Amino acid sequence: MRAALGILTALLALAASSSVSSQSAMTLSLSGPDAEVVQLGERALVRLEAENGDGATLLELPKISNVRARASAPSDSSNRQFVNGQLIVDHTARQWTIEFEPVEVGTYRVPPLRVRDATGRVHETRPFTFRCVAGRASSAFIEVSFEPSKPYVGETVAMRIRFGVEPRHVGLLVRQTRYQQARDFNIDFPSWDEMPAGAVASDTLDSLPNALIVLVNRNYRILHDLGVQKRGDTSFHVFEIAKTMRPERIGDYELDRATLRYAWISKFGRNAFGERFATEKSDEFARSEPVRLEVRALPSEGRPADFTGAVGTLTMDATLDKREVRVGESFPFVLRLTGTAVHDGMAAPDLTKLAGFEGFHVFGKKVEVEGRTLVAHYDLSALQPGDAVLPEIRIPHFDTASSSYDVARVGPFRLTVTGSVAKELEALPESKKALTAGVDDLWDRMDVRGDAPERFRPSPLLAWLALALPFLLFGLGFATTRFVHRARSDVAGRRRRGARRVFEERLAQQGPLVALTGFIADRLGIEAGAVVGQDLEARLVRHGLGVDRAREVVGLVQRLEALRYAGSDATAEAEHARDASSMADRLEKELRA
């Protein structure tokens, strides 16, 4: 009997080792596209799975003319099975969802997608094709503009995306976010963040402002509501996003078109309680005309030798409030630069490096930039007595208004310096008083007479408190240590308390099903796999949830589990995420730990 059991154990171990070794090599599979024919404004979705792809990396997506390609973050899953303590199946998979968005009507061939495994080997998928056809015409419009339209290199350029929709659509937008200040439009314009002519300042929001926001390239930006305006004979509710850039490279650039998407409720119905709800929605899509940006080079003729790269209009003025100072006395000097050449990265003149400022000391400089005005506050002092001159300050720049080089000038300023250069520090004028050294000193001016000091005698209560204080502190420290130790050892409690935070992370990375089941498991203190079991409703009821609510939770979990394998588009995924988030909010309040 023992011999037979030993042979069986050896066979199981051999099967496990052969199974694991056979599954160690990564295999790549591609499913999709979900639709071989898409309308202009829609996306073709494919799902890429790397079996045994732990550590696999999706390489750069192929460049396809008139098609924008995006890949989601990788999603990992694993499945392990044990028999008699032996690992029989060890299955891991890494998945990506990739969307291809055509911006022109036509048939497109997608080359093989490439994934590199942990050993460095590159795997490829099969190529595939899909077709894009024109959809119904939309009343919305979107346009991109640059001001000036043909800037010089280094010139400040205002970038604007302006779009308009039917006024009645604004109040009927299908909600895609829970942020009240968000307008549910989706705008795509890759050059808004990555301009081939040079770096573009980021305008993504780190926190939600008290202003309208909108999604541009899947990041929230400030949105300006321009109200209802006429374009020809048609009225539009117009919005605008704006920022500035400074092109760094010359050339004639053809940029991607900007696209606008949104959905609005086109039909309502009423339920048994007379409440109105949406029954139909309409999708709208618009795209801009082709966008071009021509960046011109600065002329070499007439360029000053001390030209530092300032491009645009520039005027300069200065303020010197005091015209008579003493040697070593600090006095303010304010310099203002105004014009289109001023930008956030512009530096104020360094007076210590300018000719003629050798007779002055610069204590410090404070620079403020507000719009197209730079204000520099200098703290100066004169080093020698006599008639002094703050020399002329000049800044060469290329004036875009006249298309020629010019010099902005201010000064010189004359002032009178009094006093002398002493070897010792001289008292300031306001602190000069008649003092006789050795006579009018500190102790001559103080009345040190008074009562003799008394010995401090604490009250009995204070004495007992001083004796008991070390014991009280020891008890407090011991209680705190016990509390921290119990809190750290309470794994289930920490899991319950952090359930909501972990839910948000799972929702963003792994989807609504994994997030919701994980949240319920954390709150109940069970394994996530047990949530999809037949006794979920009974477990929820035992933890204080009502029967109706428990059935609602079970129904949502089953629906999400079914949709996970059936697949859904991006809009449906957003709706599922909102359902899961809403259910988690209710369970947070109603579920007893």
Asked whether residue 351 is assigned to any structural domain, the reply reads: yes
Q: What's the CATH number where 379 sits?
A: 2.60.40.740
**Which one, of 104, 108, 109, lies nearest residue 39 by Cα?**
104
What's the pLDDT at 436? Answer: 55
Coil, helix or strand at residue 144? strand
Rounded average pLDDT over 376-390: 87
| Rounded distance between C-alpha atoms, residue 153 and residue 157, angstroms | 10
- Residue 342 burial by CB count (10 A; 0-12/13-18/19+): exposed, middle or buried? buried
What's the pLDDT at 519? Answer: 81
- Kindly report, residue by residue over 2-61, the tens digit of the pLDDT: 555 555 555 555 554 444 444 468 888 888 787 788 887 788 888 988 888 778 888 888
What's the pLDDT at 242? Answer: 92
Asked whether residue 544 is assigned to any structural domain, the reply reads: yes
**Token pair of 361 as six digits:** 């000391």
Asked whether residue 101 is assigned to any structural domain, the reply reads: yes
Domains held by the chain: number:
4
324 and 203: one domain?
A: no
What's the pLDDT at 8? Answer: 53
| Rounded distance between C-alpha atoms, residue 586 and residue 544, angstroms | 13
Asked whether residue 369 is assigned to any structural domain, the reply reads: yes
- Across all residues in the chain, what is the average pLDDT? 80
More confident residue, 519 or 453: 519
What's the pLDDT at 435? Answer: 54
- Kindly report, residue by residue over 264-319, the tens digit of the pLDDT: 988 888 877 777 777 888 888 888 888 889 999 999 888 888 888 889 889 999 98
289 and 370: one domain?
A: no
More confident residue, 500 or 395: 395
185 φ, ψ (degrees, to nearest 5)? -110, 150
* Cβ neighbours of residue 107 closer than 8 Å, sequence gap 6 or more: 129, 130, 131, 132
- CA dist list (Å): 231 to 163, 234, 553: 12, 5, 50
165 and 108: one domain?
A: no
The domain boundary residue, chosen from 115, 133, 151: 133
Asked whether residue 575 is assigned to any structural domain, the reply reads: yes
66 and 108: one domain?
A: yes
pLDDT band at 424 (very low <50, low <70, confident <90, very high): very low
Q: Which of 300-309, 343-352, 498-507, 580-589 has the highest mean pLDDT?
A: 300-309
Rounded average pLDDT over 522-540: 71
Q: Which residues pair with 364 in a beta bridge?
A: 379
Rounded average pLDDT over 508-515: 80
More confident residue, 153 or 593: 153
336 and 285: one domain?
A: no
503 and 381: one domain?
A: no
What's the pLDDT at 20? Answer: 44
**Which one, of 292, 291, 264, lies nearest residue 138 by Cα?**
264
165 and 247: one domain?
A: yes
CA atoms within 13 A on the CB side of 393: 21
Q: Which domain holds residue 398?
A: 315-418
Asked whether residue 76 is assigned to any structural domain, the reply reads: yes
* Cβ neighbours of residue 327 closer than 8 Å, sequence gap 6 or more: 381, 382, 383, 384, 385, 417, 418, 419, 420, 421
DSSP characters for 523-561? HHTS-GGGGGSTTHHHHHHHTT--HHHHHHHHHHHHHHH
Asked whether residue 423 is assigned to any structural domain, the reply reads: no
The domain boundary residue, chosen from 109, 133, 157: 133
**Token pair of 376 as six digits:** 């520099």
Asked whether residue 125 is assigned to any structural domain, the reply reads: yes
What's the pLDDT at 145? Answer: 93
| Rounded distance between C-alpha atoms, residue 383 and residue 125, angstroms | 76
The domain boundary residue, chosen from 418, 443, 468: 418
170 and 268: one domain?
A: yes
551 and 586: one domain?
A: yes
274 and 359: one domain?
A: no
| Rounded distance between C-alpha atoms, residue 64 and residue 102, angstroms | 9
Name the DSSP class of 204.
-
389 and 517: one domain?
A: no
Coil, helix or strand at residue 40? coil
157 and 118: one domain?
A: no
- Kindly report, residue by residue over 533-552, the tens digit of the pLDDT: 667 777 777 777 777 888 88
